[in-house]
Amino acid sequence: MKELSLLEKIYKTSPRDDSILIGPGDDMALMQFDSTNLLCGVDQLIVGRHVTIETAPELIGRKAVARSFSDVAAMGGVPTGSLMTAALPPKTDESWAMAVFQGANEHAAKWGGPIVGGDIATTEENAQPMFTVTTFGTLPTTPIKRSNAQVGDVIYVTGTIGNSIAYHHLHFTPRINEAQLLMDSVEINTMIDISDGLGQDASHLATEISQLVIDTALLPLREGATLPKALSDGEDYELLFTSGSKPPEHLATPIGYVQRRTPSEPKVITTTGEDVSNLGWSHE
C-alpha cells in the first residue's frame, strides 16, 4: 500500500459543502458552525514505528499530543481541546498505559488543548500499541494553508533541522507561540510543519506555477545533523513557511526563495538544480 496514493483517492471522494471551509489535504480541516470556525485534525502514533517500546511511556504520550498540536501551529491556530484513543494488546501493562495517558494529559493541558475524552480498544496479541489524538483549535486570524507559495516569496524555517532521532523528536515543543508571533510580524502566504522531511514537505507548498528553491548552505542544522539528513530525516516539527516580508531574525531563518516553474519541472530544487521534492519518509 502506498499511503499518499491512497490518501489522494480518499480526498477525491470526500464530501464538500458550505460548512467545510478547508477539507482533506491540508494540515487540518476547518469547519464553520454558525459564526464559529473550528480547526479539526487527527494524528496517530504507533509504538515500533514512531517510538520504540523502550521509550519512556510519558514521552510516548507527550509525542502523541505534540504531533497533533504541531498541525495546529502550522495552520496559525490555537489548540482548545483534544480526544485521545488507544488500541492496546490484551496483556498491556496497565501502569504503562496510565503513564502514557498521564504524559499526554500533562502536555495537552500545558499547551492549551486539554484531553476531554477518548476511547480504549483491545487489539490482537501480537499488535503494537497505537494512540490517536484528535485536536481542535480556533483561529485568531485567517487560516494559513498549504500550496499558496507566491513567486518572489522567501522561504523560512523556525529552529534547527536534522538528526531529530537523537533527542528532538521526543522532546520538541509545538511551535504554537512562534506561529502567533510570526503572524503578528509578517504576512505568511503558506506554511507547514516539517514531519516527513524538508524536501517532501516543502513540495506541499509549491503550486503549478511556483517552485521552491532551497539554498542548502543556509540550512540551520541541529547538532549532529548533515545536509542530506536535514533534507530527508523529518520528525523536526519546525514550521516551514513563505513570506514576502522579513520576520524577526530570532523567530526564523531564510533558507531559499520561490520562483516560477512549469508543471513539468520539480516542485523543490536546490540552488544547484538538484530535485529534492521527494526526499523524506516513504509512505509505503
Break the chain into its structural domains and give their ranges. 15-138, 154-270
What are the cell numbers at 228? Answer: 542530506
CB atoms inside a 10 Å sphere around CB 164: 25
Q: Which helix (H) or strand (E) holds 72?
A: helix 57-74
How confident is the model at residue 195, as a pLDDT?
A: 95
Residues β-bridged to residue 55: none
CATH for 154-270, options being 3.30.70.1730, 3.90.650.10, 3.40.50.300, 3.90.1150.10: 3.90.650.10
Contact yes or no for 252/158 (Cβ under 8 A): yes
> In the predicted model, what is the mean pLDDT of the chain?
92
How is the beta sheet containing 78-88 ordered, strand by strand? 20-22, 29-33, 36-46, 130-138, 78-88, 115-122
Classify 15-138 by CATH class.
alpha beta
Q: Is the pLDDT of residue 182 over 60?
A: yes
Sequence letter at residue 191: M
pLDDT band at 5 (very low <50, low <70, confident <90, very high): low
How confident is the model at residue 11, as a pLDDT?
A: 56
CB atoms inside a 10 Å sphere around CB 117: 10
**Spatial CA neighbour of 65 closest among 187, 188, 172:** 172
Task: Determine the 3-state secondary structure of 78 from DSSP.
Answer: strand
pTM: predicted TM-score of the whole model, two decimal places? 0.91
Task: Determine the 3-state secondary structure of 69 from DSSP.
Answer: helix
Residue carrying C-alpha cell 469547519? 31
Task: Determine the 3-state secondary structure of 122 from DSSP.
Answer: strand
Name the least confident of 35-39, 95-99, 259-263.
35-39
Name the least confident of 31-45, 47-61, 230-244.
31-45
What are the cell numbers at 110? Answer: 500545558
